[in-house]
């Protein structure tokens, strides 16, 4: 079931089941958007590197999406 859903998302986009009203406020995230963490897309985010240490940077304010990373390459 999940494989079919992923295939439909890839072919028709994630907003395929939304009404016209819902689509107006919807923006599909791409790998090069400002909201996406570039460090996470390349390898790892520095915010994840020093968790539970004195040098902890806290949570990353940007988006970490494994599906987006997988689609990129």
Condensed to tens digits (0 to 9), the pLDDT of residues 6-58 reads 777 777 777 777 777 766 666 777 878 889 999 988 888 888 888 888 888 88
d(CA 16, CA 59): 31
According to the model, what pLDDT value does residue 62 have? 92
Q: Residue 72 pLDDT > 80, yes or no?
A: no
Angle, CA 54 vertex, CA 53 and CA 55 arms, to 5°? 90
**For the chain, domain boundaries:** 1-27, 31-73
61: confidence class by pLDDT, cuts 50, 70, 90: very high
According to the model, what pLDDT value does residue 67 have? 81
Q: Residue 73 pLDDT > 70, yes or no?
A: no
């Amino acid at each position: 079931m999940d494989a079919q859903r992923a295939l439909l998302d890839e072919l028709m986009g994630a907003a395929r089941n939304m009404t016209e009203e819902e689509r107006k406020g919807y923006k599909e995230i791409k790998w090069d958007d400002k909201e996406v963490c570039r460090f996470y897309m390349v390898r790892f985010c520095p915010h994840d590197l020093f968790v539970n240490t004195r040098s902890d940077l806290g949570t990353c304010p940007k988006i970490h999406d494994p599906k987006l990373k997988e689609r990129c390459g």
